[in-house]
Chain A
Amino acid sequence: MASQEVYYVPDGSKWPIIATLALFTSFLGGAVWFNGGDIGKFILLIGLAAVTYMFYGWFKDVIKESLAGKYSKQVDVSFRMGMGWFILSEVMFFAAFFGALYYAREFSIPWLSGEGQGGHNGTHEFLWPAFQAAWPMNVMPDPSRYTQYTNVIPAFGIPALNTALLLSSGVTVTLAHWALQKNNRKSLCTWLAATVLLGIIFVGFQAYEYVHAHQALDLTLKGGIYGSTFYMLTGFHGFHVTMGALMLAVILYRSVKGHFSKKDHFAFEAVAWYWHFVDVVWLGLFIFVYWI
């Protein structure tokens, strides 16, 4: 609870309504496109361009206000809470996909192979009696509707390397934070740059892995429940890493500009939290998607 004598309430802003319109345009474009309307692609592009513009403009305003010293300690705490709870909501978003993975492995695949229900599993007996449980599930219950893949990505190859990369990037971002706390801007920028670089290499490896999986292994989104959970989890994670790397790059730019001080660097910390969050999600992915 803050104890200052004066409250800060920001002025009205055009950005919230622009953000809403930009998101609306994107959703509208996406929906039209999914329905087969080619114009949808253009609407979607316009929407996403507007989203980008909105982020640029909104943050520019907030940074300007922050540098002008308008934000009190209390505002800083509100921002921190906002970021923290936003990250929790992201955790729950990933939880839905991890839940799907768990359910498929623990329940739906064993049941489809005839387990449970006292040995009288109708789906197994009447629809797909040949189906046998396996993980990775390389033979589908109904092979005519989904693509067969030859193999999956082994854990101790690129994924293990990527684990090392992301864990190191967690270290470098912490070193950057320590440098910031010592007011050592040069060291801060160096370690941040290293973090961004590790993030980019990670995304690069991930992209290479996707191409390999598609072309050499025939593993696609259509590859049954394994392909579905694999691409959904790694895809959303990869998207989050990309966003995180972009955010880190912005923070690097602002560090070079000297926006942060020993005491006042919420933006840095928020992005660092986000980066640790994608790191932890990756550990979950490495263990549950690739390894066991």
Chain B
Amino acid sequence: MSTIAKDTHHDHEHKPTGLKRWFFSTNHKDIGTLYLIFALTMFFVGGAMAMIIRAELFQPGLQFVDPQFYNSMVTIHALVMIFGAVMPAGVGLANWMIPLMIGAPDMALPRMNNMSFWILPFAFALLLSTIFMQGGGPAGGWTMYPPLVLQTGDAFPFLIFAVHFLGVSSIMGAINIIATVFNMRAPGMSLMQMPLFVWTWVITSFLLIASLPVLAGAVTMLLTDKYFGTSFFSAAGGGDPVLFQHIFWFFGHPEVYILALPAFGIVSSIIPTFSRKPLFGYASMVYATASIAILSFFVWAHHMFTVGLPIKGELFFMYATMLIAVPTGVKVFNWMATMWKGSMTFETPMLFAVAFVILFTIGGFSGLMLGITPVDFQYHDTYFVVAHFHYVLLTGAVFALMAAVYYWLPKWTGHMYDERLGKIHFWLSAISANVLFFPQHFLGLAGMPRRIPDYNIQFADFNMISSIGGFAYGLTQLLFIYIVIKCALGGKKAKSVSWEGARGLEWTVPSPAPFHTFETPPKIRKEMLENG
């Protein structure tokens, strides 16, 4: 018997079984697994919608779907990928890894943790059911701008309540992570000794707590505008539709970093491992992350340069946006300096991490272009924007999440994944993602608008190339499922330190990590720390 204090008399190593284990769980590993499986499922749901979009855009003209349905696919694809795939995957990793990385027995508030997961499937039941309703799913874009979104049919209140519900889940998850990191660290682990992944998640949690309630407020005003006759977003009553955009993007820009910062943290764990060198400039990484987070609350109107802001506003938001390039540059520099003269090997996690650094930087540069006000007047609402945010979100955030799965799969399952298949998955993904999104830069520069199912014949070639890349990327991800399942079922036994250069508390526990870990606080020695 260990000394962990438990409610019940039976041996604690006896796992709860059956449905109770999953529905009543207070175990961070089980809840983390649920989050990750849910995220992967939604990645395919959102991916299927992307396939419909790319199939329709394969050729000019209307082939498969009507414009209303097409637009609902664009809208729901975004909501599913952001709130259903990338965010839950990040929270799932946080659940699994943060307690292991800081030597805690579990999350600080384990029951709330369970609730914040279980909300997700129910919230998405509300959202996805709208596809089958009268008037179809929400089709005004994930940004829900009024007055267009107010024309949504029966789907409207379902959309609003799904957003509320998801917000509740994320806020609870964020509070839990903050309490865990500030209250549950093993004695002797100072804040500046935490792995960068933990740091990025704490900062992300602050962003979540400060920004999601604002979104909740915004959609509440949409609801009352539609059903109770308020005029927040109606100029006829003294309001302004642009007001919604301000409030939405006050949430929306921090949200972008909510998706990206955990990815930064993942990559900051993986690159040192496979470079066999400690992370370069650890402290500057922490400060850069915090700076990005703080700046993210002062740049929102760069999403709205073309709505007719006063010129002072345009200039302020342009310069503030440029400023973000500085801490981001610090990060990219530090990743490269970490690799510099390292004894590098290129296992699948490292491949994804290096690809992240390169491709995220491309997305960062196109973001810089979009952040320049006069230039944005040309790019706004074109495929250039679509290319930009897919570089930062797919080859950025999603690649980092893939890297994380490969990196920690041995710790989760106790088996090594099939390295050869992993490498094939990486190369097919990296090539197809670029075939998919790179031509969209050219389409956007040439003037092809977003969110429209048909296009001028001059855009035909690049769209066809992009669609081929899209189908290839989609198919490739089936290989990912196969690799993960194969690894869960068996394979070469993983050592507790699964990678030669790996450091950090998570590698001091056996692989697979037992149901309960760190039931008593571990004694921290400097060489155990990732950033000792």
Question: A residues touching B (Cβ–Cβ < 8 Å)?
Answer: 1-3, 5-17, 19-21, 23-24, 27-28, 30-31, 34-35, 65, 70, 72, 74, 77-79, 81-82, 85-86, 88-97, 99-100, 103-104, 107-109, 111-112, 116-117, 123, 127-128, 137, 140-142, 145-146, 220-222, 224-229, 231-232
Cβ contacts under 8 Å, A5 to chain B: 3, 520-521
Indicate if the CB atoms of B209 and A85 lie closer than 8 Å: yes
Q: Closest A residue to B209 by CB, please name it.
A: A89
How far is B212's CA from A96's CA once the two chains are assembled, in angstroms? 10
Cβ contacts under 8 Å, A23 to chain B: 119, 122, 165, 168
How far is B106's CA from A89's CA once the two chains are assembled, in angstroms? 24
- Residue B105 at the A interface, CB < 8 A? yes
Interface string of B143-173 (1 = CB under 8 A from A): 0000000000010111001101100100100
Indicate if the CB atoms of A228 and B171 lie closer than 8 Å: no
Indicate if the CB atoms of B26 and A10 lie closer than 8 Å: yes
Known contacts A35-B157, A82-B179, A104-B240: does B247 contact A96 (CB below 8 Å)?
A: yes
Cβ contacts under 8 Å, B171 to chain A: 86, 89
- Nearest-neighbour CB distance to chain A for B110, whole angstroms, equals 6
Indicate if the CB atoms of B122 and A20 lie closer than 8 Å: yes
- Nearest-neighbour CB distance to chain B for A288, whole angstroms, equals 16
Cβ contacts under 8 Å, A86 to chain B: 171, 175
How far is B229's CA from A139's CA once the two chains are assembled, in angstroms? 16
Q: Closest A residue to B248 by CB, please name it.
A: A96
Cβ contacts under 8 Å, A232 to chain B: 220-221, 224, 230, 232
Indicate if the CB atoms of A17 and B238 lie closer than 8 Å: no
- Residue B5 at the A interface, CB < 8 A? yes
Indicate if the CB atoms of B213 and A90 lie closer than 8 Å: yes
Indicate if the CB atoms of A99 and B250 lie closer than 8 Å: yes
How far is B8's CA from A231's CA once the two chains are assembled, in angstroms? 49
Q: Closest A residue to B246 by CB, please name it.
A: A103
How far is B189's CA from A15's CA once the two chains are assembled, in angstroms? 33
How far is B4's CA from A10's CA once the two chains are assembled, in angstroms? 10
Indicate if the CB atoms of B243 and A65 lie closer than 8 Å: no
Known contacts A81-B182, A123-B235: does B3 contact A6 (CB below 8 Å)?
A: yes
Indicate if the CB atoms of A2 and B520 lie closer than 8 Å: no
Indicate if the CB atoms of B157 and A7 lie closer than 8 Å: no
- Residue B61 at the A interface, CB < 8 A? no
Cβ contacts under 8 Å, A137 to chain B: 238
The 8 residue pairs across chains A and B that have the minimum distance between CB atoms: A96-B217, A225-B238, A12-B24, A16-B115, A142-B236, A228-B230, A222-B229, A108-B240
Indicate if the CB atoms of A78 and B111 lie closer than 8 Å: no
* Chain B residues touching A, range: 35 or more
How far is B131's CA from A183's CA once the two chains are assembled, in angstroms? 59
Q: Closest A residue to B208 by CB, please name it.
A: A89
Indicate if the CB atoms of B213 and A16 lie closer than 8 Å: no
Indicate if the CB atoms of B157 and A74 lie closer than 8 Å: no
Q: Closest A residue to B133 by CB, please name it.
A: A35
Indicate if the CB atoms of A31 and B209 lie closer than 8 Å: no
Indicate if the CB atoms of A70 and B7 lie closer than 8 Å: yes
Cβ contacts under 8 Å, B519 to chain A: 7
Contact of B184 (CB < 8 Å), options: A74, A104, A127: A74
Q: Closest B residue to A224 by CB, please name it.
A: B237
Contact of A12 (CB < 8 Å), options: B26, B180, B236: B26
Q: Closest B residue to A96 by CB, please name it.
A: B217
- Nearest-neighbour CB distance to chain A for B11, whole angstroms, equals 13
**Most chain B CB neighbours (cut-off 10 Å) among A28, A81, A112, A123:** A81
Indicate if the CB atoms of A104 and B227 lie closer than 8 Å: no
How far is B516's CA from A88's CA once the two chains are assembled, in angstroms? 32
Indicate if the CB atoms of A108 and B24 lie closer than 8 Å: no
How far is B519's CA from A6's CA once the two chains are assembled, in angstroms? 7
Cβ contacts under 8 Å, A112 to chain B: 235, 238
Indicate if the CB atoms of B161 and A30 lie closer than 8 Å: yes
Contact of A17 (CB < 8 Å), options: B23, B214, B231, B234: B23
How far is B234's CA from A142's CA once the two chains are assembled, in angstroms? 10
Known contacts A9-B6, A70-B7, A96-B247: does B115 contact A2 (CB below 8 Å)?
A: no
How far is B177's CA from A81's CA once the two chains are assembled, in angstroms? 10
Given contact pairs A7-B105, A34-B156, enumerate 4 new A-B contacts (beta carbons under 8 Å). A7-B106, A7-B520, A81-B175, A224-B239
- Residue B294 at the A interface, CB < 8 A? no
Known contacts A28-B126, A74-B183: does B115 contact A20 (CB below 8 Å)?
A: yes
Indicate if the CB atoms of A142 and B237 lie closer than 8 Å: yes
**Most chain B CB neighbours (cut-off 10 Å) among A1, A74, A94:** A1
Can you list 8 A-B contacts (CB < 8 A)? A17-B115, A24-B122, A82-B109, A92-B211, A141-B236, A142-B237, A220-B229, A224-B238
Contact of B108 (CB < 8 Å), options: A6, A81, A103: A81
Q: Closest B residue to A145 by CB, please name it.
A: B236
Cβ contacts under 8 Å, A9 to chain B: 4-6, 26, 105-106, 110, 516
- Residue B185 at the A interface, CB < 8 A? yes
- Nearest-neighbour CB distance to chain A for B113, whole angstroms, equals 8
- Residue B362 at the A interface, CB < 8 A? no
Contact of A228 (CB < 8 Å), options: B162, B223, B227, B231: B231
Indicate if the CB atoms of B178 and A85 lie closer than 8 Å: yes
Identify which of residues 98-114 in chain B touch chain A, using a CB-to-CB cut-off of 8 Å. Answer: 104-106, 108-112, 114
How far is B189's CA from A88's CA once the two chains are assembled, in angstroms? 27
Indicate if the CB atoms of B236 and A140 lie closer than 8 Å: yes
How far is B229's CA from A222's CA once the two chains are assembled, in angstroms? 5
Known contacts A10-B110, A14-B24, A104-B240: does B214 contact A95 (CB below 8 Å)?
A: yes
Q: Closest B residue to A229 by CB, please name it.
A: B232
- Nearest-neighbour CB distance to chain B for A112, whole angstroms, equals 6
Interface string of B493-532 (1 = CB under 8 A from A): 0000000000000000000000010111100000000000
- Nearest-neighbour CB distance to chain B for A130, whole angstroms, equals 13
Indicate if the CB atoms of B5 and A70 lie closer than 8 Å: yes
- Nearest-neighbour CB distance to chain B for A252, whole angstroms, equals 26
Indicate if the CB atoms of A27 and B164 lie closer than 8 Å: yes
Identify which of residues 192-245 in chain B touch chain A, using a CB-to-CB cut-off of 8 Å. Answer: 209-214, 216-218, 220-221, 223-224, 227-232, 234-240, 242-243
Indicate if the CB atoms of A7 and B521 lie closer than 8 Å: yes
Known contacts A2-B183, A82-B175: does B26 contact A145 (CB below 8 Å)?
A: no
How far is B243's CA from A85's CA once the two chains are assembled, in angstroms? 27
Known contacts A145-B236, A225-B238: does B178 contact A81 (CB below 8 Å)?
A: yes
Indicate if the CB atoms of B236 and A16 lie closer than 8 Å: no
Indicate if the CB atoms of A34 and B178 lie closer than 8 Å: no
Known contacts A20-B122, A31-B157: does B182 contact A65 (CB below 8 Å)?
A: no
Cβ contacts under 8 Å, B232 to chain A: 100, 104, 225, 228-229, 232
Cβ contacts under 8 Å, A140 to chain B: 231, 236-238
**Most chain A CB neighbours (cut-off 10 Å) among B217, B218, B308:** B217
How far is B7's CA from A95's CA once the two chains are assembled, in angstroms? 41
- Nearest-neighbour CB distance to chain A for B4, whole angstroms, equals 6
Q: Closest B residue to A88 by CB, please name it.
A: B209
Contact of A13 (CB < 8 Å), options: B26, B162, B183: B26
Cβ contacts under 8 Å, B5 to chain A: 6-9, 70, 72
- Residue B25 at the A interface, CB < 8 A? yes
How far is B4's CA from A17's CA once the two chains are assembled, in angstroms? 25
- Residue B14 at the A interface, CB < 8 A? no
